Every structure is written in C-alpha cells, then in structure tokens.
Amino acid sequence: MQTLRLYHQDAYLKTFTARVLTCRPAGDGYEVILDQTAFYPTGGGQPHDTGWLGGRRVLEVVEDPDTGAILHRVDGPLAGEVTGEIDWNRRLDHMEQHTAQHLLSQVFAVLFQAETISFHLGSEATTIDLDLQALSPDQVEAAEALANQIVREDRPVRVHWAETPETAMARFPLRKPPAVAGPVRVVEIGDFDFSACGGTHVASTGRLGLIKVKAWERYKKGIRLTFLAGGRALRDYQRLDRMTRDLARSLSLGVPDLPGAVEKLREETLRLRRQLRDAQEQLLEVEARELLAGARVVAGVRVVTQTFGGRPGEEVRALAAKVAAHPRAVALFGTRGALPQLFFARSTDVRLDMGAILRQVLPVIAGKGGGSPLSAQGAGSRPEGLATALDLALARVAEGLQASQV
C-alpha cells in the first residue's frame, strides 16, 4: 500500500487533496494513510513536514519500512477526501538547508577530498560530519567562497531517476553509492553535484541566498561543521548586524572602530584585574597579620581559629595560606552557610598533618575533603556542626603541638 509522493513531483506544492485509506488510533492521536501526499516523512537526515490535514494538525510523518506507506500522525480522526496544507515556512527551511548540505559536501570533496560521513538538519543549525583530521579558517573561507559562487551562478537543481543503483552509478558521477535497492532518485546541482537522495530541494542554487559556516570542531575521528543557509543565514546576519550596531552605539563609535575599541577595553580590563589582584593580596596580608596578632599561642605556635559568613571559599583559602606563610603559624578557618566549609593550613616549620586533622573532624559536618600535611579543605552538609568541628580541630592541633615538644 505505497503512497504516491507528490513532493517528488513538485517540492513547492503547498496544498493538495487526497483520499484517506486507513485511520486508526495511535497513542494520543490517529495514524492516517493517504493514497497520495505532499507531506515529507522523516528520512535521509531531513525532518518530516508538519501542517494540517482535513483541519487536523499533522504532528509527525514517517514511512512504514515494510509497506512503503507514509503514516501521518494527526490529532483527530479523518475519513473520505481531505485537503492537506504544508507548513510552508518549515518545508522551505528544510529545502534550503538540505540543498546547501549537498552543495557544501561536494565543495569539501572537490577542494579537500573530504567525504561526508553524515549530516543532521536541526531546528537551529545543520551539521555535516566530514572525514577530515583538521580544518583551518583559510580552508573554511575557501569552501564558503566556492559554495557561494555556485549560489550566485543560480545553477538549476534537477531530479533524475535510475532503475537500479548500478544504473545510477553508471549514468551519474555520484558522490556516494546509493543506499537503496530499487529505483534511485538522483538530485543534481547544476552539473556540480550528483547525489542519491529522496529529500526536498530548492529549484536553483540562487534561491539559497547565502551559505555561511558558523563553527567547526573535532568530532570522533573527523570534523563536525555547522552551517546556516537561506532564511537562517539571513536572520543570523540580521541578528549580528543589530548586535554590532547596538554595541557601537553604546560606545559612541562607528562599527569599523569596534575591534580596536574592544582590544583597548580588553587590555584595560587585564590591567585593572592585575591591580585588583595585587590590592586583594595586600589586604589579605594585612588581615593575616591582624589575625596573627590576636592568635592564641600553643606550644610556641600561633593558632588562628576563625569562622566567616558570606565570604567566598577561595578567598578564605587564600587567607589561610597567607597566615601559614608566616613562621610558626596555623590557620583553622570555617565558612558558614548551607554547605559549611573548612580550610586548614600550617607553616612549613610546624610539625602537623593538616590533612589527617581534617579527616578526623569532617564527620562532624557530614563532609568530604582532603589535602596534604601542609593544607587541607573540605565541605559538608551539617552547618550546625561547624563550631564543634573547629573546636575539635583546635584540640587535635594542640595535642599534636604538645606531643612534638616531648
């Protein structure tokens, strides 16, 4: 019960009439088979069409691999003769991206002998997986230039049929062998690319408007390339153009002056960050000295015990290191919060294992952590145990210092 595929006859067909052959409940909708359809089913890397059928919303379209029938999942029952209407914006977008994929794949094959392993037409961008070990910006620009040259030449996109894969391979210089067993549909892009494909495509390359590569990255053993074409490329350009104009306006500059201004801002930001870091280091040193001045002395060692609230852990850790940079000093710091933290450190001339002390007190705050004999840190889930944990740590430090004098 194969369905006549009207989209193969005319990819620009937006409305059609058909007769319902079967309609049966399927999940939260109904599964409908028509005698003919312009709805493209998911396949060959291209997503299915959506739209309306007899007033019902078409939610999904797939091909039955056993019968070749096209199954339309709709949100209500249908019978008799119905009118179908394609969601044209979605269809045109898919036609643009799919045609651009054919073109780009052949460009990379011609320029760099790179085979297309697979492609994915997503809702925001399309990706091509290439059999390449590396890809440079110069190569990408060369590929874009050739692809868009063919776009501007407005080459026709034609469809040919061959009775068998062998016939198709003999008649056309196919980029890849056909993956079907029966008749082969060959899509030609103006004597430049010949691909076995059942998808929908624009009528000529000029209708793509623009092809733009947006990104590429290492993926598995090759390169994954992300691109935009047609309306997607235009909308992306409009978004970037608006962004650059807004940035230039906010800085009271012309758009051409933006790169220089951004570089100056970057350098100024780096300079200010260095100054801020130096100032923070100085303030932490001052604070460390103040804490040491009020520290308790145990066996000739200054032990600083302090609890902080609402202070970043990294800052507390740095302060502990500042304290421990002074001779014969130990820092036992904690931070209050939903997840209490502990930061222990000692100077190099003190005989204590801060990692071992931390492991002894972590159960009090139901925590985890670790470190070395010089410094250690951990965090827990029992903030009510923080004070007890610090008292216990102080006791262990005192025991260790007194034992070291024996």
Which residues, at least 6 apart from 172, have a Cβ–Cβ distance to it below 8 Å? 160, 162, 186, 188, 194
What confidence category does residue 300 fall into, taking pLDDT thresholds of 50, 70 and 90? very high
What confidence category does residue 185 fall into, taking pLDDT thresholds of 50, 70 and 90? very high
CA gap 343, 336 in Å, rounded: 12
- pLDDT for position 65: 86
Q: Is 165 left (phi over 0), alpha (psi -120 to 50) or beta?
A: alpha
Residue 309's SS3 state is strand
- pLDDT for position 326: 97
Domain edges within the chain: 4-86, 91-238, 285-405
- pLDDT for position 44: 87
Q: Which residue has the higher pLDDT, 44 or 172?
A: 172
pTM: 0.74
CATH of 285-405, one of 3.40.50.150, 3.10.310.40, 3.40.50.2300, 3.40.50.720: 3.10.310.40
Kindly report, residue by residue over 61-75, the tens digit of the pLDDT: 999 988 889 999 999
What confidence category does residue 338 fall into, taking pLDDT thresholds of 50, 70 and 90? confident
- pLDDT for position 209: 96
CATH architecture observed for domain 4-86: Beta Barrel (2.40)
How large is the average pLDDT for residues 19-29?
95
CATH of 91-238, one of 3.30.980.10, 3.40.30.10, 2.30.30.40, 3.40.190.10: 3.30.980.10
CA gap 331, 375 in Å, rounded: 9
Average pLDDT of the chain?
95
